[in-house]
Structure 1
Amino acid sequence: MQDETNWDDPKLREILEKTVELFYEFGIRNLNMDDISRNLKISKKTLYQYVKSKEDLIEKIFEYDGLKWNMEFAKIKIDELNAIEILIKASLLIYDEMRRLDSKQKFELRKYYQAIFDRVMQTKQNHIFDHISMNIRKGIKEGLYRSDVNIELAATLYVRNMIDMHSDEYCFNENISFEQLFEAMFENHLRAISTPEGIAYFEKRKSEINQLNNKHK
Protein backbone atom coordinates (compact mmCIF):
# COMPACT_ATOMS: atom_id res chain seq x y z
CA MET A 1 0.00 0.00 0.00
CA GLN A 2 1.33 3.44 -0.91
CA ASP A 3 1.87 6.02 1.80
CA GLU A 4 -0.07 8.62 -0.18
CA THR A 5 -3.78 7.89 -0.11
CA ASN A 6 -5.50 8.11 -3.49
CA TRP A 7 -8.88 9.58 -2.56
CA ASP A 8 -9.98 9.43 -6.20
CA ASP A 9 -9.84 5.63 -6.14
CA PRO A 10 -13.50 4.51 -6.42
CA LYS A 11 -12.75 1.19 -4.71
CA LEU A 12 -11.31 2.94 -1.66
CA ARG A 13 -14.33 5.26 -1.47
CA GLU A 14 -16.65 2.28 -1.74
CA ILE A 15 -14.83 0.46 1.07
CA LEU A 16 -14.99 3.50 3.35
CA GLU A 17 -18.64 4.29 2.66
CA LYS A 18 -19.82 0.70 3.11
CA THR A 19 -17.75 0.30 6.28
CA VAL A 20 -19.48 3.35 7.75
CA GLU A 21 -22.81 1.61 7.17
CA LEU A 22 -21.49 -1.49 8.94
CA PHE A 23 -20.32 0.59 11.90
CA TYR A 24 -23.76 2.16 12.20
CA GLU A 25 -25.42 -1.25 12.09
CA PHE A 26 -23.09 -3.31 14.27
CA GLY A 27 -20.96 -0.81 16.16
CA ILE A 28 -17.28 -0.01 15.69
CA ARG A 29 -15.83 -2.34 18.32
CA ASN A 30 -17.94 -5.35 17.35
CA LEU A 31 -16.39 -5.68 13.88
CA ASN A 32 -12.92 -6.99 13.10
CA MET A 33 -11.22 -6.95 9.72
CA ASP A 34 -12.51 -10.44 8.89
CA ASP A 35 -16.08 -9.28 9.54
CA ILE A 36 -15.59 -6.16 7.45
CA SER A 37 -14.06 -7.95 4.46
CA ARG A 38 -16.77 -10.62 4.57
CA ASN A 39 -19.58 -8.05 4.67
CA LEU A 40 -17.94 -6.06 1.88
CA LYS A 41 -17.58 -9.27 -0.14
CA ILE A 42 -13.88 -8.74 -0.71
CA SER A 43 -10.87 -10.69 0.47
CA LYS A 44 -8.96 -9.52 3.51
CA LYS A 45 -5.92 -9.27 1.25
CA THR A 46 -7.78 -6.75 -0.92
CA LEU A 47 -8.87 -4.80 2.15
CA TYR A 48 -5.26 -4.57 3.34
CA GLN A 49 -4.25 -3.12 -0.02
CA TYR A 50 -6.18 0.00 0.98
CA VAL A 51 -5.74 0.16 4.76
CA LYS A 52 -3.02 -1.04 7.12
CA SER A 53 -5.24 -1.94 10.07
CA LYS A 54 -8.66 -1.37 11.60
CA GLU A 55 -7.32 1.79 13.23
CA ASP A 56 -6.08 3.01 9.85
CA LEU A 57 -9.49 2.20 8.36
CA ILE A 58 -11.26 4.27 11.02
CA GLU A 59 -8.89 7.19 10.51
CA LYS A 60 -9.37 7.09 6.74
CA ILE A 61 -13.15 7.07 7.17
CA PHE A 62 -13.02 10.30 9.14
CA GLU A 63 -10.43 11.85 6.85
CA TYR A 64 -12.57 11.02 3.83
CA ASP A 65 -15.62 12.44 5.61
CA GLY A 66 -13.68 15.65 6.22
CA LEU A 67 -12.70 15.86 2.56
CA LYS A 68 -16.34 15.49 1.52
CA TRP A 69 -17.30 18.25 3.97
CA ASN A 70 -14.65 20.55 2.51
CA MET A 71 -15.97 19.86 -0.98
CA GLU A 72 -19.49 20.76 0.14
CA PHE A 73 -18.21 23.95 1.77
CA ALA A 74 -16.34 24.84 -1.43
CA LYS A 75 -19.69 24.89 -3.24
CA ILE A 76 -20.72 27.93 -1.20
CA LYS A 77 -20.14 30.93 -3.46
CA ILE A 78 -18.16 33.00 -0.97
CA ASP A 79 -17.43 35.82 -3.42
CA GLU A 80 -21.11 36.21 -4.32
CA LEU A 81 -22.64 36.08 -0.82
CA ASN A 82 -22.39 38.28 2.24
CA ALA A 83 -21.02 36.99 5.54
CA ILE A 84 -24.41 36.23 7.09
CA GLU A 85 -25.53 34.20 4.08
CA ILE A 86 -22.27 32.27 4.21
CA LEU A 87 -22.59 31.72 7.96
CA ILE A 88 -26.11 30.32 7.55
CA LYS A 89 -25.03 27.88 4.84
CA ALA A 90 -21.77 26.93 6.58
CA SER A 91 -23.50 26.41 9.92
CA LEU A 92 -26.03 24.07 8.32
CA LEU A 93 -23.13 22.06 6.89
CA ILE A 94 -21.41 22.04 10.29
CA TYR A 95 -24.69 20.99 11.89
CA ASP A 96 -25.02 17.98 9.57
CA GLU A 97 -21.33 17.13 9.92
CA MET A 98 -21.44 17.10 13.71
CA ARG A 99 -24.65 15.06 13.86
CA ARG A 100 -23.12 12.14 11.96
CA LEU A 101 -21.44 10.79 15.08
CA ASP A 102 -24.17 9.21 17.18
CA SER A 103 -23.82 8.60 20.92
CA LYS A 104 -22.80 4.96 20.53
CA GLN A 105 -20.04 5.76 18.05
CA LYS A 106 -18.70 8.59 20.20
CA PHE A 107 -18.67 6.31 23.25
CA GLU A 108 -16.81 3.56 21.38
CA LEU A 109 -14.29 5.96 19.88
CA ARG A 110 -13.59 7.60 23.24
CA LYS A 111 -13.25 4.31 25.09
CA TYR A 112 -11.46 2.09 22.60
CA TYR A 113 -9.85 4.49 20.11
CA GLN A 114 -9.12 7.55 22.25
CA ALA A 115 -6.18 8.76 20.16
CA ILE A 116 -8.21 8.61 16.94
CA PHE A 117 -11.18 10.33 18.60
CA ASP A 118 -8.96 13.15 19.87
CA ARG A 119 -7.40 13.68 16.43
CA VAL A 120 -10.79 13.64 14.71
CA MET A 121 -12.29 16.17 17.11
CA GLN A 122 -9.22 18.42 16.98
CA THR A 123 -9.30 18.44 13.19
CA LYS A 124 -13.01 19.28 13.17
CA GLN A 125 -12.49 22.06 15.69
CA ASN A 126 -9.62 23.56 13.70
CA HIS A 127 -11.62 23.52 10.46
CA ILE A 128 -14.65 25.13 12.07
CA PHE A 129 -12.50 27.73 13.86
CA ASP A 130 -10.77 28.73 10.61
CA HIS A 131 -14.04 29.07 8.68
CA ILE A 132 -15.76 31.07 11.42
CA SER A 133 -12.74 33.37 11.82
CA MET A 134 -12.71 34.09 8.08
CA ASN A 135 -16.45 34.69 8.17
CA ILE A 136 -16.15 37.24 10.97
CA ARG A 137 -13.42 39.14 9.13
CA LYS A 138 -15.58 39.26 6.01
CA GLY A 139 -18.62 40.43 7.98
CA ILE A 140 -16.64 43.23 9.62
CA LYS A 141 -15.52 44.50 6.20
CA GLU A 142 -19.12 44.41 4.98
CA GLY A 143 -20.42 46.33 8.00
CA LEU A 144 -22.62 43.41 9.07
CA TYR A 145 -20.47 42.50 12.09
CA ARG A 146 -19.12 44.86 14.73
CA SER A 147 -15.61 46.16 14.14
CA ASP A 148 -14.70 45.67 17.81
CA VAL A 149 -15.43 41.93 17.84
CA ASN A 150 -12.65 39.81 19.31
CA ILE A 151 -12.40 37.41 16.36
CA GLU A 152 -10.41 34.71 18.12
CA LEU A 153 -12.71 34.72 21.15
CA ALA A 154 -15.94 34.71 19.12
CA ALA A 155 -14.73 31.86 16.89
CA THR A 156 -13.53 29.88 19.91
CA LEU A 157 -16.90 30.27 21.65
CA TYR A 158 -18.71 29.13 18.49
CA VAL A 159 -16.54 26.01 18.26
CA ARG A 160 -16.81 25.30 21.99
CA ASN A 161 -20.59 25.56 21.94
CA MET A 162 -20.80 23.36 18.87
CA ILE A 163 -18.64 20.67 20.48
CA ASP A 164 -20.40 20.90 23.85
CA MET A 165 -23.79 20.45 22.22
CA HIS A 166 -22.72 16.98 21.15
CA SER A 167 -21.99 15.93 24.70
CA ASP A 168 -24.68 13.70 26.18
CA GLU A 169 -24.46 15.71 29.39
CA TYR A 170 -24.90 19.12 27.72
CA CYS A 171 -28.69 19.22 27.68
CA PHE A 172 -30.31 17.89 30.85
CA ASN A 173 -33.82 18.87 29.71
CA GLU A 174 -35.32 16.13 27.55
CA ASN A 175 -37.95 18.57 26.27
CA ILE A 176 -35.28 20.57 24.43
CA SER A 177 -34.15 19.07 21.14
CA PHE A 178 -30.72 19.25 19.56
CA GLU A 179 -32.23 21.36 16.78
CA GLN A 180 -33.52 23.92 19.29
CA LEU A 181 -30.11 24.08 20.96
CA PHE A 182 -28.43 24.64 17.61
CA GLU A 183 -30.84 27.38 16.58
CA ALA A 184 -30.39 29.20 19.90
CA MET A 185 -26.60 28.90 19.76
CA PHE A 186 -26.48 30.15 16.17
CA GLU A 187 -28.75 33.12 16.84
CA ASN A 188 -26.90 34.09 20.03
CA HIS A 189 -23.59 33.98 18.15
CA LEU A 190 -24.90 36.11 15.32
CA ARG A 191 -26.62 38.69 17.51
CA ALA A 192 -23.52 39.03 19.69
CA ILE A 193 -21.24 39.96 16.78
CA SER A 194 -23.64 41.80 14.44
CA THR A 195 -24.24 45.48 13.83
CA PRO A 196 -27.86 46.73 13.70
CA GLU A 197 -27.67 46.29 9.92
CA GLY A 198 -26.52 42.71 10.35
CA ILE A 199 -29.30 41.89 12.82
CA ALA A 200 -31.91 43.40 10.49
CA TYR A 201 -30.61 41.28 7.62
CA PHE A 202 -30.63 38.14 9.77
CA GLU A 203 -34.26 38.69 10.77
CA LYS A 204 -35.18 38.43 7.09
CA ARG A 205 -33.27 35.15 6.72
CA LYS A 206 -34.12 33.56 10.06
CA SER A 207 -36.66 31.15 8.57
CA GLU A 208 -33.89 29.11 6.89
CA ILE A 209 -32.38 28.19 10.24
CA ASN A 210 -35.81 27.50 11.71
CA GLN A 211 -36.37 24.89 8.99
CA LEU A 212 -34.02 22.58 10.91
CA ASN A 213 -36.84 21.45 13.17
CA ASN A 214 -38.89 20.29 10.18
CA LYS A 215 -35.87 18.85 8.38
CA HIS A 216 -34.94 16.40 11.13
CA LYS A 217 -38.32 15.50 12.63
Structure 2
Amino acid sequence: MKEKIIQSAINLFITLGFKSVTMDDIASEIGISKKTIYTHFNNKTALVKATTVHLFESISAGIDKICSLDCDPIDELYRIKRFVMIALKDEQSSPQHQLQKYYPEIANVMQAKKFDVMAECTLNNLKKGIEQGLYRADIDINFVSRIYFVGINGIKDDTLFPIQEFPKVKVHEDYLEYHLRGIVTPEGLKTLNKFIKTNQ
Protein backbone atom coordinates (compact mmCIF):
# COMPACT_ATOMS: atom_id res chain seq x y z
CA MET A 1 0.00 0.00 0.00
CA LYS A 2 2.86 2.39 0.80
CA GLU A 3 4.25 1.96 -2.73
CA LYS A 4 0.80 2.55 -4.21
CA ILE A 5 0.41 5.77 -2.22
CA ILE A 6 3.81 7.01 -3.39
CA GLN A 7 3.08 6.22 -7.05
CA SER A 8 -0.32 7.94 -6.95
CA ALA A 9 1.16 10.94 -5.15
CA ILE A 10 3.94 11.22 -7.75
CA ASN A 11 1.41 11.25 -10.60
CA LEU A 12 -0.73 13.89 -8.92
CA PHE A 13 2.19 16.07 -7.79
CA ILE A 14 3.75 16.08 -11.27
CA THR A 15 0.42 16.71 -13.01
CA LEU A 16 -1.09 19.28 -10.64
CA GLY A 17 1.81 20.51 -8.52
CA PHE A 18 2.91 19.99 -4.91
CA LYS A 19 0.86 22.89 -3.54
CA SER A 20 -2.56 22.14 -4.96
CA VAL A 21 -2.69 18.39 -4.27
CA THR A 22 -4.11 17.52 -0.85
CA MET A 23 -4.00 14.28 1.13
CA ASP A 24 -7.74 13.98 0.39
CA ASP A 25 -6.99 14.13 -3.34
CA ILE A 26 -4.45 11.31 -3.03
CA ALA A 27 -6.79 9.19 -0.90
CA SER A 28 -9.62 9.73 -3.39
CA GLU A 29 -7.36 8.84 -6.33
CA ILE A 30 -6.43 5.49 -4.75
CA GLY A 31 -9.85 4.80 -3.26
CA ILE A 32 -8.72 4.65 0.37
CA SER A 33 -9.29 6.76 3.47
CA LYS A 34 -6.98 9.62 4.36
CA LYS A 35 -6.35 7.81 7.65
CA THR A 36 -4.71 4.97 5.73
CA ILE A 37 -2.20 7.40 4.22
CA TYR A 38 -1.38 8.74 7.67
CA THR A 39 -0.51 5.23 8.89
CA HIS A 40 2.40 5.34 6.42
CA PHE A 41 3.23 9.07 6.38
CA ASN A 42 2.92 11.43 9.36
CA ASN A 43 2.10 14.45 7.21
CA LYS A 44 2.17 15.80 3.68
CA THR A 45 5.81 16.90 4.01
CA ALA A 46 6.86 13.32 4.78
CA LEU A 47 4.94 12.13 1.72
CA VAL A 48 6.49 14.82 -0.48
CA LYS A 49 9.94 13.75 0.71
CA ALA A 50 9.22 10.09 -0.01
CA THR A 51 7.85 10.81 -3.48
CA THR A 52 10.76 13.05 -4.49
CA VAL A 53 13.32 10.48 -3.32
CA HIS A 54 11.46 7.70 -5.14
CA LEU A 55 11.19 9.74 -8.34
CA PHE A 56 14.85 10.78 -8.15
CA GLU A 57 16.00 7.17 -7.71
CA SER A 58 13.76 6.01 -10.56
CA ILE A 59 15.06 8.69 -12.94
CA SER A 60 18.68 8.08 -11.87
CA ALA A 61 18.29 4.35 -12.59
CA GLY A 62 16.80 5.14 -16.00
CA ILE A 63 19.68 7.49 -16.84
CA ASP A 64 22.21 4.85 -15.74
CA LYS A 65 20.54 2.35 -18.04
CA ILE A 66 20.76 4.77 -21.00
CA CYS A 67 24.44 5.45 -20.27
CA SER A 68 25.14 1.71 -20.14
CA LEU A 69 23.92 1.35 -23.75
CA ASP A 70 27.19 2.95 -24.89
CA CYS A 71 25.61 4.92 -27.74
CA ASP A 72 27.34 7.98 -29.12
CA PRO A 73 27.34 10.91 -26.64
CA ILE A 74 25.00 13.16 -28.64
CA ASP A 75 22.46 10.35 -29.00
CA GLU A 76 22.88 9.66 -25.28
CA LEU A 77 21.94 13.23 -24.31
CA TYR A 78 18.86 13.18 -26.54
CA ARG A 79 17.77 9.83 -25.08
CA ILE A 80 18.22 11.14 -21.52
CA LYS A 81 16.26 14.30 -22.32
CA ARG A 82 13.36 12.29 -23.79
CA PHE A 83 13.35 9.87 -20.85
CA VAL A 84 13.33 12.63 -18.21
CA MET A 85 10.62 14.63 -20.00
CA ILE A 86 8.39 11.53 -20.14
CA ALA A 87 9.09 10.69 -16.48
CA LEU A 88 8.17 14.25 -15.45
CA LYS A 89 5.25 14.50 -17.90
CA ASP A 90 6.87 17.49 -19.63
CA GLU A 91 6.83 19.33 -16.28
CA GLN A 92 3.64 21.23 -17.06
CA SER A 93 3.01 21.86 -13.36
CA SER A 94 6.60 23.07 -12.75
CA PRO A 95 7.26 20.54 -9.95
CA GLN A 96 10.81 21.73 -9.28
CA HIS A 97 9.74 25.36 -8.92
CA GLN A 98 6.91 24.42 -6.53
CA LEU A 99 9.16 22.09 -4.54
CA GLN A 100 11.68 24.91 -4.05
CA LYS A 101 8.97 27.39 -3.07
CA TYR A 102 6.92 25.27 -0.66
CA TYR A 103 9.41 22.61 0.51
CA PRO A 104 12.82 24.33 0.31
CA GLU A 105 14.64 21.93 2.65
CA ILE A 106 13.60 18.91 0.58
CA ALA A 107 14.40 20.79 -2.62
CA ASN A 108 17.93 21.65 -1.44
CA VAL A 109 18.70 18.04 -0.50
CA MET A 110 17.39 16.80 -3.84
CA GLN A 111 19.34 19.48 -5.69
CA ALA A 112 22.60 18.24 -4.15
CA LYS A 113 21.77 14.63 -5.06
CA LYS A 114 20.82 15.69 -8.56
CA PHE A 115 24.09 17.57 -9.00
CA ASP A 116 26.13 14.51 -8.01
CA VAL A 117 24.32 12.30 -10.52
CA MET A 118 24.35 14.86 -13.33
CA ALA A 119 27.99 15.82 -12.77
CA GLU A 120 29.18 12.23 -13.16
CA CYS A 121 26.90 11.57 -16.13
CA THR A 122 27.83 14.81 -17.92
CA LEU A 123 31.57 14.43 -17.28
CA ASN A 124 31.50 10.89 -18.70
CA ASN A 125 29.49 12.13 -21.68
CA LEU A 126 32.01 14.92 -22.34
CA LYS A 127 35.01 12.59 -22.05
CA LYS A 128 33.40 10.10 -24.42
CA GLY A 129 32.54 12.86 -26.89
CA ILE A 130 36.12 14.12 -26.93
CA GLU A 131 37.50 10.59 -27.36
CA GLN A 132 35.16 9.98 -30.31
CA GLY A 133 36.03 13.29 -31.95
CA LEU A 134 32.47 14.64 -31.61
CA TYR A 135 33.31 17.26 -28.95
CA ARG A 136 36.19 19.73 -29.06
CA ALA A 137 39.31 18.56 -27.23
CA ASP A 138 40.00 22.07 -25.86
CA ILE A 139 36.87 22.40 -23.71
CA ASP A 140 37.17 22.53 -19.91
CA ILE A 141 34.94 19.58 -19.04
CA ASN A 142 34.56 20.59 -15.37
CA PHE A 143 33.32 24.04 -16.36
CA VAL A 144 31.05 22.74 -19.15
CA SER A 145 29.47 20.07 -16.91
CA ARG A 146 28.65 22.67 -14.24
CA ILE A 147 27.35 25.31 -16.64
CA TYR A 148 25.16 22.63 -18.24
CA PHE A 149 23.72 21.79 -14.80
CA VAL A 150 23.07 25.49 -14.08
CA GLY A 151 21.29 25.83 -17.43
CA ILE A 152 19.14 22.74 -16.99
CA ASN A 153 17.93 24.12 -13.67
CA GLY A 154 17.60 27.68 -14.96
CA ILE A 155 15.24 26.81 -17.80
CA LYS A 156 12.85 25.29 -15.24
CA ASP A 157 12.34 28.65 -13.56
CA ASP A 158 8.85 29.81 -14.56
CA THR A 159 9.61 33.41 -13.68
CA LEU A 160 12.31 33.43 -16.37
CA PHE A 161 10.60 31.04 -18.78
CA PRO A 162 6.80 31.26 -18.33
CA ILE A 163 5.12 28.18 -19.82
CA GLN A 164 2.74 30.25 -21.96
CA GLU A 165 5.66 31.80 -23.80
CA PHE A 166 8.23 28.99 -23.49
CA PRO A 167 6.68 25.49 -23.72
CA LYS A 168 8.79 23.10 -21.64
CA VAL A 169 9.45 20.58 -24.41
CA LYS A 170 10.71 23.26 -26.79
CA VAL A 171 12.84 24.95 -24.13
CA HIS A 172 14.56 21.64 -23.36
CA GLU A 173 15.09 20.97 -27.07
CA ASP A 174 16.53 24.45 -27.62
CA TYR A 175 18.77 24.28 -24.56
CA LEU A 176 20.24 20.91 -25.50
CA GLU A 177 20.98 22.20 -29.01
CA TYR A 178 22.51 25.38 -27.50
CA HIS A 179 24.73 23.27 -25.20
CA LEU A 180 25.90 20.95 -27.96
CA ARG A 181 26.57 23.65 -30.54
CA GLY A 182 29.06 25.19 -28.13
CA ILE A 183 31.15 22.03 -27.79
CA VAL A 184 30.83 19.95 -30.97
CA THR A 185 33.52 19.50 -33.63
CA PRO A 186 32.61 19.76 -37.34
CA GLU A 187 32.07 15.97 -37.25
CA GLY A 188 29.91 16.31 -34.15
CA LEU A 189 27.85 19.02 -35.85
CA LYS A 190 26.91 16.55 -38.60
CA THR A 191 25.56 14.16 -35.96
CA LEU A 192 23.80 16.99 -34.11
CA ASN A 193 22.09 18.20 -37.29
CA LYS A 194 20.59 14.74 -37.79
CA PHE A 195 18.96 14.92 -34.35
CA ILE A 196 17.75 18.49 -34.91
CA LYS A 197 16.05 17.44 -38.16
CA THR A 198 14.52 14.37 -36.48
CA ASN A 199 13.06 16.48 -33.65
CA GLN A 200 11.57 19.21 -35.89
TM-score strictly above 0.5: yes
Q: Check if 1:28 corresponds to 2:19.
A: yes
Instruction: Give the CA deviation at 1:63.
Output: 1.1
Segments of 5+ residues of structure 2 without an aligned counterpart are none
Q: Check if 1:133 corresponds to 2:123.
A: yes
Segments of 5+ residues of structure 1 without an aligned counterpart are 1-10, 211-217
Q: Check if 1:200 corresponds to 2:190.
A: yes
Instruction: Give the CA deviation at 1:43.
Output: 5.1
The residue aligned with 1:18 is 8
Task: Give 1:100's aligned amino acid.
Answer: E
Q: Matched residues in 2 for 1:195 and 1:26: separation?
A: 40
State the SS of the aligned residue for 2:135.
coil
Instruction: Give the CA deviation at 1:140.
Output: 1.1
For residues 55-90 of structure 1, the C-alpha deviation after alignment (integer angstroms, 9 at most, x for no partner) is: 221111011111221232233263541112112211
Q: Matched residues in 2 for 1:54 and 1:42: separation?
A: 16
Q: 1:172 to 1:147 in 2, by over 3 A?
A: same
The residue aligned with 1:162 is 152
State the SS of the aligned residue for 1:75.
helix
Q: Which has the higher contact order (CA 8 A, sep 6+)?
A: 2
Q: Matched residues in 1 for 2:85 and 2:145: separation?
A: 16
Residue range with higher mean Cα deviation, 138-147 or 68-77: 68-77
Task: Give 2:145's aligned amino acid.
Answer: A
The residue aligned with 1:3 is none
TM-score by length of 1: 0.74
Aligned sequence identity (%) = 24
Instruction: Confirm or deny: 8 A CA contact 2:60 2:117 kept in the other structure.
Output: no
Q: Matched residues in 1 for 2:181 and 2:39: separation?
A: 51
The residue aligned with 1:71 is 61
TM-score by length of 2: 0.79
Q: Matched residues in 2 for 1:197 and 1:146: separation?
A: 10
Task: Quote the RMSD (CA, aligned, Å).
Answer: 3.0
Instruction: Confirm or deny: 8 A CA contact 2:66 2:76 kept in the other structure.
Output: yes
How many aligned positions are there?
Answer: 198
